[in-house]
Amino acid sequence: MANDSVSVKMDGPRREYRGRKLRVAVIGCGGIAQTHLTAYRDALPQVDVGAGVDIRADRLAVMRDKWGVPEAALFGADLASGKTRSETAWREMLRKMGDKIDAVDVCTPNFAHCQPVVDCCKAGKHAFVEKPMAMTVEEAKRMVAAAKVGGVKLSVGFQNRYRPALEALVEARDNGVFGDILFVKVRRLRRRGIPNWGVFGRRELQGGGPLIDIGVHFIECAYEFMGCPKPVAASGNTWTYLGNRKDKTRVRSPWPGWDWKTYTVEDLAIGHVRFDNGAIMQIETSFAAHIEENDVAEFTAMGTRGGCQFPSGRIFTDQHGTMVNIAPAFLDPAGDEWNALFARKLGNWADGCLTGAELGASGEDGLNVQRILNGLYDSAAAGGKEVEIR
C-alpha cells in the first residue's frame, strides 16, 4: 500500500515543515480543485501552490482572492475582461514559470486530462490527474509514456484505496484470509442521480457516463483489493433510456433539471471482466437505475477461503468448525472523511515526487483501470460480444 510519511491530519494547525517543497500549478481550478487546495493548505505543508490555469476568469479570481496566487501566475483567462484567452494555457504557464514549478495538479474535465499531463510531463513536471485518468486507453498510454520520457511521477486521483476498511481488507488478503480471490461484484448505482452541473452527460467531453464517472471509483478499489491481476477480456452492455428524456426531468429527484438535450452517455452499464488468473469482476453502475435503494456504493468478494464486503469491512469465513461473520470493531472514522482521503492521495503523490517513494495509484494503475472501462465500452459498441483487452 501507499507510503504515508507525512502527516495528513486535518484537525490541527498546519505543522512546521522545513524540508524541500513541491511547487505545484493547479490546472482546472473548479469544484474538485477546491478540495485539493484545502488539502494542501490544511494537511500538506510540503506543497506550495504557485500558479493556476483555467479558461474561466471567475475561477482564476478565486485562486487569487482565496488561495493567494499572484495574478501574474494565473493563466488562461483575463481577470479584467472576464474573457477566455487560451484553452491550452498550461503551455504558457510552462514557458513563463517553468523554473518556478515542479509539478502540476490536473483537475479539468475528462476531455482535458491527457494533453496537459503529456505536455507537462515531457517538460519534466510531475503530474497528478483526477479520475478517470483519461477518456480512452490510447490517451492513458500517452500519459504513462510521457511520464517515462520526462522521468517524473504520475498519479491518478483514486481516494477509495485509502479508506480504512479497504486497507484492513488488503492486509487480511495479504495474510491469506481469502485464499485465491475468484469473483468480485462491484455495484455503484444511483436510483436517480444524473449530475445537473458540469459536462457529465456529454460523451464527447467525458468519455462515458456512470461507468467512467462513478463506477470507476469502486472498480479501482476492488481491483486494488484483487491484487491488480491483468485484465484480459470484457463483455457488457450500456443503455440510455431516461437521461435524454425531457419528461423524466419532471420526476422528483435529488438533482433535477439536468441538461437532457445534450445527454449522450449511458444511464446503465453492466459488465463482466476476466483476468489472467481466471478471476472475474462483475460491474453494475448507473445514474438512473430502477432499484429500491437511492445510492449503492460497494463491492463484495468471494475467495477460496473467505469473502468480504466493502465498505463495511466485514469478512465471511470458517473458524473452528463454524461459519463466521467478522465485523471490524474499530475503523478510524476520521480516516474515512472526504478531506482526509484527499489529503492521503495527494500526500502520497507529493511525497513520491519529493522522495522518489513508490506511488499508491500510479499512472500504470490508472491505465489498467482505463483498460477495464474502455473494454466494457468497446464490448457494448460491439453489441455485447466479449472483446479482448490489450
Ligand X SMILES: NC(=O)c1ccc[n+]([C@@H]2O[C@H](COP(=O)([O-])OP(=O)(O)OC[C@H]3O[C@@H](n4cnc5c(N)ncnc54)[C@H](O)[C@@H]3O)[C@@H](O)[C@H]2O)c1
Binding site for ligand X (CB under 6 A): 27-33, 53-56, 59, 76, 87, 107-110, 112, 130-131, 157, 159, 198, 213
Query: For ligand X, which is the closer residue by CB, 27 or 281?
Result: 27
Query: For ligand X, which is the closer residue by CB, 32 or 182?
Result: 32
- Helices 164-174 and 216-226: crossing angle in degrees, nearest 10, is 30
Half-sphere exposure of 285 (CA within 13 A, CB side): 32
Closest contact distance (angstroms) between CB of 94 and ligand X is 13
Closest contact distance (angstroms) between CB of 345 and ligand X is 8
Query: For ligand X, which is the closer residue by CB, 119 or 351?
Result: 119
Query: For ligand X, which is the closer residue by CB, 76 or 243?
Result: 76
Closest contact distance (angstroms) between CB of 294 and ligand X is 19
Q: Which residue is nearest to ligand X (CB)?
A: 30
- Look at the alpha carbons of 113, 118, 119, 121 in this order and tell me if their dihedral is positive or negative: positive
292: number of Cβ within 10 Å: 7
Query: For ligand X, which is the closer residue by CB, 164 or 306?
Result: 164
Closest contact distance (angstroms) between CB of 375 and ligand X is 19
DSSP string over 320-368? TTEEEEE--S---GGGGSHHHHHHHHHHHHHHHHHH-PPPSSBHHHHHH
Q: Which residues of 156-187 are buried (b: 16+ CB within 10 A; e: fewer)?
A: bbbbbbbbbbbbbbbebbeeebbeebbebbbb
Instruction: Choose among 217, 223, 162, 163: nearest CA to 2.
Output: 162
Query: For ligand X, which is the closer residue by CB, 73 or 387?
Result: 73
Closest contact distance (angstroms) between CB of 53 and ligand X is 5
Closest contact distance (angstroms) between CB of 197 and ligand X is 7
- 8 A C-beta contact, residue 185 and residue 282: yes
Length of the chain equals 390
- 8 A C-beta contact, residue 360 and residue 155: yes
